[in-house]
Amino acid sequence: MVEMNHEWSGYALTRPVEYDDNCSCGMSSSCSTQAVFIERNLSRAIPVNGMKMGCTPSQSFLSSTLECFYNQSCLNLIQHYTGSNASSGPLPTQKSRFSPSNTTIAELVNELFLEDWSIDKNYSLYYEQCSPLVCSYTIVEKFNIIYIITLVLGLQGGITIVLKWFCPKMIRLGFKIYNRRKNQVTAVGPDTTDDITIRQTTSNSEIQPTNSAVTRNRSFRKIMCTVILVICVAIGISCFSIYYAYKNRLTTTNAPIDDNFNITTTVMAMSTTSNVSEPVCLFKYEQMLIDSSCSFISSRATVVTDINGDNHIDLIFSCGRIIAEMVHVLLGNGKSSFRQVFTFPPSNFFYEISWIRVADLNNDHRADLVLAHCKYSKINIAILFGNGNGTFQMDTGRSLLLTSVKEHVSIIDMNNDTKLDLIAIGESSNRINVYYGNGNGTFSSPSVLLIGINSVASQLAVADLDNDNYLDLIVMDTATFSIHVFFGNKDGSFQLHKRLFVSTTTYKTTMIVADFDGDLQSDIILAQSHIDTVLVTYRYNNGTFHDKKQIVLKSEFPFDSVALGDLNHDKLLDIVVTKDARYEIYGFLQDRNGNFQVQTIYLGETYGEDPWSDVKDFNNDNCQDIISASTEFEKRSIFLNTCECP
């Protein structure tokens, strides 16, 4: 049997729709006609006032008017034929330059639906209507009474100074020229005796040339004085104009407009500190290795603190990779050595631990363990209540919240109710979640603080910036190169955040918030390590952030870990940084003038990854030591402070 394949081809004749005035949609898409409702028996077509039907839905909409929406009977007609149960009233009739029956929606769109363009500038009204985050404006006032008085006094002062120096010299020059010309006219030589006799006996008409010469000399002096005066006035006006223009340029404001918040970094960033650096004592350090019996140490999940109340620094860290991960608790004996007392493996609560915190969350005066662990690509936070002896209750571990951020979490009492609260960057990086503690290890639902629509919060700190005894939240925003500050209130709530635009990039930048000068008010330091190591200090005072820039090291100095402590026992905070790539440790020691000097503490010969450092007193000699490690090292090092200058 042979199958035959038959191919069929056909053509469909199409015709473009034609509307009013024989307008064809095949030739133009702007054709339209009156829109109507057609009853089912095709016996009647009911027009809808103002509505048009065009080649496309958008053209139909733009060709229509709003006439029907001002008429209740027309709205009832639409409701009847569309079967809608929603009832609506007509739009109120108001005086307008747009006629409801003659103005198409396309014309309204072109006019931006605006009744009138006002040329009056009202910045406060704009702020109330639009609520912008930032407003930039420049105010230059001219031709008022103060400006005129200042201009006159400036001209007088400038002319006085210039004329005192310039006029005596020009007058002496004029007299020299005059005397020279006078001598040339009345000069008498040995062979001119006869000429003099003749001039004395001649008539008055012959003496006129001498008087004309004197007149020309006087006219020349007047012209010279006038020219000199004009030049002096021009110089004075030019000098004053340059000074006044420069002054106006410096008063240009670019600042957030909420709550009188002004940024002065535009002017102040042009000058660096003039304080002379004082010599500081650079203590020596002795390296000592710690055998932690761990093949892979997670530097981020590490805590050094006193967990059993014996005034000796203890060590808690995560060891191993993912499945083989263990948490180790080592108790210190006050002599820079440790003994292991507690180890627990991962379970349903612990899987790829990201960070560890120690805090008393249930107010039993015992340190509890807070861990963030990764499970199914999410970060969960769990709590283990402490027994007070360096061990923890495994059965109390439970998940509290979800967050997509690993390290940027603070546990502190925000509202002064003696209950620790938890602050973290939320699942969306443009907001902060505040969980208020209940005092028993549980927390309230998160209170969300929105930073900004296009913001990306990368670092979080908690401190008192305005010295009002209430803690504030500080967030560094890498998307907008700014710092957002939520100032705290007495009841634990927060004010609308204020933005500080930083004078450095946020690339390879660490935000440090602490009281560096011992005045009980915290400062913000941005440590930037891209090309040159730059420390920029920001201080909040009288509603304004002030900055002071200090370039510390004129070379590329990238670092990954930052710790704070008093390294040389002078009661001033110093900064310890640990480099990534080649494993190196440096100290930035502060002097009494607020400047920093660099001290090389350790130069490793090997390369590390993800370095970490902290500053504590491990041997109870009242001098702070440095503990440091890298992820690739099996052993950690303590650099004991000898408390002696070299």
Give 414-440 pLDDT, tens digit per residue: 888 899 998 888 766 788 888 888 988
The band of 474, judged by pLDDT with boundaries at 50, 70 and 90, is very high
- Within a domain: 562: yes
* 568 within a domain of the structure (yes/no): yes
CA distances in angstroms from 419 to 367, 371, 382, 414, 415, listed in the order given: 14, 19, 17, 9, 8
Q: What is the mean pLDDT of residues 515-533?
A: 80
- Per DSSP, the three-state class of 314 is strand
Mean pLDDT calculated for residue range 5-11 = 54
Instruction: Report residue 566 as tokens.
Output: 């008093």
pLDDT, one tens digit per residue, over 39-64 is 776 667 888 989 999 888 888 899 99
Residue 130 Cα distances to 117, 124, 142, 454, 482, angstroms: 17, 10, 30, 17, 22
Nearest residue to 508 (alpha-carbon basis) of 471, 559, 584: 559
Angle at 530 between CA 527 and CA 535, to 5 degrees: 25
Please state the rounded mean pLDDT for residues 504-529: 81
pLDDT given at position 257? 35
Q: How far apart are CA 415 and CA 160, in angstroms?
A: 64
Q: Which of 316-330, 341-355, 451-465 bottoms out in mean pLDDT, i.e. has the lowest?
A: 341-355
Q: Residue 177: inside a domain, yes or no? A: no
Q: What is the pTM of this model?
A: 0.56
C-alpha 181/C-alpha 121 separation (Å) is: 66
- Which residue do the tokens 């590329």 mark? 556
Structural domain ending residue among the three candidates 83, 114, 135: 83
Predicted pLDDT at 188:
47
Please name the residues in contact with 424: beta carbons below 8 A apart, sequence gap of 6 or more.
401, 403, 405, 408, 409, 410, 432, 433, 435, 460
Neighbours of 58 (CB within 10 A): 11
User: Across-strand partners of 501?
Assistant: 482
pLDDT at site 632 = 56
Q: What is the pLDDT of residues 355-408, one digit of tens each?
A: 888 999 989 999 998 887 766 556 677 788 889 888 888 766 555 655 555 567
514: containing domain: 509-645
Q: What is the pLDDT of residue 65?
A: 92
Dihedral over Cα of 209, 210, 215, 216: its sign = positive
CATH number at residue 519: 2.130.10.10
| % the chain with pLDDT above 90 | 7
Residue 476 has pLDDT above 80, yes or no: yes
Q: How many domains does the chain have?
A: 2
Give dist(CA 410, CA 473) in Å, integer.
10
Average pLDDT, the chain: 75
- In the chain, DSSP finds a helix count (H) and a strand count (E) of 8, 35
For the sheet containing 378-384, what is the strand order? Answer: 353-359, 368-375, 378-384, 399-403
Could you tell me the pLDDT band of residue 118, with boundaries at 50, 70 and 90?
Answer: confident
Tell me phi and psi for residue 507, to 5 degrees. -75, 130
Question: Which DSSP string do the residues of 154-212 spell out, in sequence order?
Answer: HHHHHHHHHHHHHHHHHHHHHHHHHHHHHHHHH---TT-HHHHHHHHHS-GGGTHHHHH
At 270 the pLDDT is 28
| Within-domain flag for 497 | no
pLDDT at 609 over 90: no
The answer, yes or no, to whether residue 125 has pLDDT greater than 90, is: no
Select from 49, 83, 117 the last residue of a domain: 83
- CA 321 to CA 623: how far, in whole Å? 35
Q: Residue 248: what pLDDT?
A: 45
Which of 31, 56, 83 delimits the end of a domain?
Answer: 83
Is 580 among the domain residues? yes
Residue 28 lies in a domain: yes
pLDDT of residue 267: 26
Among the residue ranges 149-158, 335-344, 348-357, 583-592, the one predicted with the least confidence is: 348-357
Specify which residues 328 forms β-bridges with: 317, 343
Closest C-alpha to 400, from 425, 426, 427, 370: 370
Within-domain flag for 71? yes
Residue 154: the pLDDT is: 74
pLDDT > 60? residue 189:
no
Rounded alpha-carbon distances, angstroms, from residue 342 to 40, 85, 107, 374, 391: 84, 70, 77, 22, 6
DSSP code, position 237: H
Work out the angle between the directed axes of helices 145-186 and 208-250 (0-180°, nearest 10): 150
- Look at residue 202 and tell me if it is in a domain: no
- The model's confidence at residue 319, banded by pLDDT at 50, 70 and 90, is confident
pLDDT score, position 499: 85
CA neighbours within 13 Å on the CB side: how many for 490?
0
pLDDT of residue 11: 59
Q: Is the pLDDT of residue 473 over 90?
A: yes
In the predicted structure, residue 348 carries a pLDDT above the cut 80: no
Distance (Å, whole) CA 628 – CA 331: 17
Cβ–Cβ under 8 Å, residues 472 and 466: yes
